[in-house]
């Protein structure tokens, strides 16, 4: 059996980093971990190929090669998924679909032969048995959420690592909190399940043996959801990193209550965590209560500073469009982002995702307008907002124009580097040639061609003088800031 694993294309969003990746000579931020894991669940005797449309095109010869096509998608990838299914079905291929979009959508799915709802660790082996008997069903629904001990080692070797900026691994699924707008807790549950320490170290070993060096993204939606297990894991990761010369710079997502646990912060620092994404959402207490964001309480700015004091750059998500947002929400968001020194502030408009508690509430209130696009930076709404939509869009665009204006952004980067000033054993993952090429591209594009070049040189000179030990970080953040500015300008003009 020949299986083609296809990851549909992501549109150009703030999360795509599409305007920043070329500086590093990369095509995409992360490989499709879900498909690499699905590959490991298939029989060893089957042939498989991975086509990630974010780094390469899908050729007719690829489709013709395959006996069966597996595709997965998030909501934001749904249009590309439909095109993939259409092309594959036109050539008479058996098509199998799964993933978050397929599991939660209310829309009619593409005409696939087999659909997997929920996690596939138990249902995919059943499908393979049914297929061998000629009795494969169209729909497979996971009866329960499987333990992650059943999750095999992902087939990382299928990904062309040279095309990605970071590698991805997963430690846990699920989150103990109940944020109204979140679909993760509906898909993966509120009881976080984790892999064993042995599983995690084995995955680090494989990435190391494949000669990966640099950023490794632990993709958990809340890495500290199961604090008891995380506390046992971190010392082992720290020992592994030390024994291997600190080859990986770790990035993950966490709830803000991480700031309340200094021993945990210290353990993450020792294990090599250098960046953490936090869902802050809003500085408005009434909106946090509306969103059932109970973990975001007290001094939010102080919590961010606490995390930064342990050497971790804080990235964060922010939302406007809550029912309780005041008319000055836009200025308050800008002020918080500025004071918190969060360079990468992912600000989006509130969207109601299928099956969330927000979706169900808006449905009861008769305010739903259909399914969202999955891209919360597009200035459209899938529900009737309390605030005037035009005023909301105008205010949102003003946030993005302000926080990603060159001087404003570069100042936050400098402030962030000052707050995270720690001396670490940093991974030496930039080869001399690659590092020189990255530097050359950035200096030419941002220092010569770009209209904001004088702001760049002002930033660059200050970074060299005051934060020489963070030279690579300053280049990375300058490139990402350029990406955000390009998209902010494009969205403001549309």
* CA-to-CA separations, 25 to 157, 208, 228, 281, 282, in angstroms, rounded: 20, 21, 40, 32, 35
**How far is CA 173 from its chain centroid?**
14
* Spatial separation of the C-alpha atoms in residues 103 and 74, rounded to whole Å: 10
What's residue 196's pLDDT?
98
* Spatial separation of the C-alpha atoms in residues 247 and 240, rounded to whole Å: 10
Mean pLDDT by 10 residues, the chain (494 residues): 97 88 95 98 98 97 98 94 97 97 89 96 97 96 94 98 97 97 94 98 98 97 97 98 97 98 98 98 97 95 98 97 98 98 96 94 96 79 96 96 97 97 59 77 95 96 94 94 89 62
What's residue 436's pLDDT?
82
Q: What are the backbone angles phi and psi of residue 147, rounded to the nearest 5°?
A: -70, 145
Q: How many CB atoms lie within 10 A of CB 145?
A: 17
User: 160 with 55: CB under 8 angstroms?
Assistant: yes
SS (H, E, C) 451-468: CCHHHHHHHHHHHHHHCH
Q: What are the backbone angles phi and psi of residue 160, rounded to the nearest 5°?
A: -80, 95
What's residue 433's pLDDT?
61
User: 103 with 187: CB under 8 angstroms?
Assistant: yes
Considering only CA atoms, which of 150, 175, 172, 149 is closest in space to residue 256? 175
* CA-to-CA separations, 140 to 122, 127, 225, in angstroms, rounded: 10, 8, 28
Q: What are the backbone angles phi and psi of residue 179, rounded to the nearest 5°?
A: -55, 130
User: 90 with 58: CB under 8 angstroms?
Assistant: no
Q: How many residues does the chain have?
A: 494
In Å, the largest CA–CA distance within the chain is 69
Collect all residues with Cβ–Cβ distance below 8 Å to 376 and sequence separation of at least 6.
Answer: 319, 348, 349, 350, 351
């Amino acid at each position: 059996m020949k299986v083609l694993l296809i990851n549909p294309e992501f549109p150009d969003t703030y999360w795509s980093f599409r305007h920043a990746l070329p500086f590093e000579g990369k095509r995409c931020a992360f490989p499709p971990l879900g498909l690499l894991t699905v590959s490991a669940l298939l029989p060893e005797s089957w042939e498989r190929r991975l086509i990630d449309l974010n780094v390469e095109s899908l050729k007719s010869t690829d489709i013709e090669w395959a006996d069966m096509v597996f595709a997965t998608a998030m909501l934001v990838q749904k249009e590309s998924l439909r095109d993939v299914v259409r092309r594959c079905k036109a050539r008479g291929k058996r098509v199998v679909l799964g993933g978050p979009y397929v599991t939660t959508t209310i829309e009619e799915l593409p005409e696939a032969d087999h659909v997997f709802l929920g996690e596939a660790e138990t249902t995919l082996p059943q499908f393979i048995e049914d297929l061998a008997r000629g009795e494969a069903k169209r729909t497979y629904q996971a009866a329960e959420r499987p333990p992650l001990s059943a999750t095999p080692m992902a087939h990382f070797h299928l990904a062309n690592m040279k095309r990605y900026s970071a590698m991805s691994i997963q430690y846990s699924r699920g989150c103990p909190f109940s944020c109204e707008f979140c679909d993760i807790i509906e898909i993966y549950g509120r009881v976080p399940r984790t892999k064993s320490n042995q599983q995690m170290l084995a995955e680090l070993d494989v990435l190391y043996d494949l000669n990966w060096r640099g950023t490794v993204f632990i993709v958990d939606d809340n890495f500290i959801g199961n604090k008891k297990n995380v506390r046992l894991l971190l010392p082992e990761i720290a020992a592994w990193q030390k024994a291997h010369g600190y080859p990986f710079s770790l990035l993950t997502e966490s709830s803000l209550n991480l700031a309340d646990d200094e021993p945990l912060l210290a353990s993450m620092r020792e294990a090599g965590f250098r960046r953490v994404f936090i869902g802050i959402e809003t500085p408005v207490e009434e909106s946090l209560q509306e969103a059932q964001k109970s973990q975001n309480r007290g001094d939010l700015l102080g919590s961010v500073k606490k995390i930064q004091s342990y050497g971790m750059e804080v990235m964060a998500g922010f939302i406007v469009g809550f029912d309780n947002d005041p008319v000055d929400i836009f200025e308050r968001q800008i002020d918080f982002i500025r004071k918190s020194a969060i360079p990468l502030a992912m600000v989006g408009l509130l969207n109601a995702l299928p099956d969330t508690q927000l979706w169900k509430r808006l449905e009861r209130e008769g305010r739903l307008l259909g399914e969202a696009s999955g891209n919360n930076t597009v200035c459209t709404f899938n529900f009737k907002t309390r605030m005037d939509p035009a005023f909301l869009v105008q205010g949102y665009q003003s946030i993005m124009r302000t926080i990603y204006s060159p001087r404003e952004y570069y100042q936050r980067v400098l402030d962030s580097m000052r707050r995270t000033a720690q001396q670490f054993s940093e991974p030496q993952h930039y080869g001399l040639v690659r590092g020189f090429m990255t530097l050359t591209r950035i200096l030419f594009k941002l220092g010569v061609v770009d209209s904001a070049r004088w702001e760049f040189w002002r930033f660059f000179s200050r970074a060299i003088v005051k934060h020489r030990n963070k030279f690579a970080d300053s280049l990375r953040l300058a490139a990402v800031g350029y990406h955000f500015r390009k998209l902010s300008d494009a969205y403001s003009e549309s």
